[in-house]
Amino acid sequence: MFSMEGYSLDNSISTASDSPDSIQTFSISSVETTQVFLSSSVFQNYVSGGSFVSVDDHLVIDDPLYVIRDDKGFLQLTDYARSTIDDCCLRFEVLSRKVRSKVEYAWIDLTTDQCSDTLPVFKPDDHNQKIFEKSRSTLSFLTLTEEFKEFNLHTAGLDFAQTVYAHIKRLKISQRLFSEKTLLDDRAFRKIKSGNWKNPTFDAVMAICVGLALGTHYGLPLLKKAGYTLDRSDRTPYEILLACFCGHSIFECNRHLAEFGAPLLREREYHAFVGS
């Protein structure tokens, strides 16, 4: 389980649900998030709109009231969010593995040490519906939606490289910062700036989506312009990164990919940077 060092919650577990074999929790690891994402189309609809983000193993409304960056650039919950978890986080039911046959669940192929004796299940109950509606009414989400519409209109006729450069200008990112965030070299930046990058690899496009925190709103259209989709089952981990981990650095996202058992982004550059 990946979590930020030095930070923990003591109110992650709520009271027991009606089932004697289950409890309710607000805490869900990246691997468990993958399991729920694969098993629940409702959960996919909740998180794919870009209004939630995974922070310290919680799916929290992505708004400055609840999420901030620390001095090292890591996302963390605000003091307010920590004290009102039930007011800003999605809730999950954790079932004992012995009642697995009683629920509809698509189990993914994980290594033994990743599997636990419990199964997280997402239900669109009154709590989760309330949090979902709240997430869609925040100023952050409404602003993102309006900005996306304007950006999409402005870049409708642009190709992949031109659209990436439009993102770079929108985010006011320098060449050096672009390389740091994406692990792409200066040659890639020059191709983007000149509008002359044909047939980029899936790895490079995803590195841009993650590094620039494009999420599903901006990421999926950019992937389409590069000739890629996330419909293939082997690309589900990358879809989860866009949907649930937007704003996490490429280094953090690679830790999640390692937990998923998926190929890392910019793997050679990543290992060279972290020294492994």
pLDDT digits (tens, 9 = 90+) for 226-240: 999 999 888 999 999
* Distance between first and last Cα of the chain: 20
Q: Is residue 46 part of a domain?
A: yes
Q: What percent of the chain has pLDDT over 90?
A: 70
Report whether 106 contacts 179 (CB < 8 A).
no
Q: Which residues contact 72 (CB under 8 A, 6 or more apart)?
A: none
162 and 228, same domain (yes or no): yes
95 DSSP β-pair partners: 22, 119
Domain that holds residue 161: 155-274
83 and 173, same domain (yes or no): no
131 and 160, same domain (yes or no): no
pLDDT of residue 23: 85
Report whether 118 contacts 154 (CB < 8 A).
no
pLDDT of residue 104: 40
Q: Is residue 149 part of a domain?
A: no
Number of domains in the chain: 2
Q: Is residue 2 part of a domain?
A: no
Cα–Cα distance between 224 and 250 in angstroms, integer? 21
153: tokens are 């209109």
- Whole-model pTM: value is 0.85
Cα–Cα distance between 75 and 77 in angstroms, integer? 7
SS3 69: strand
89 DSSP β-pair partners: 60
pLDDT of residue 45: 94
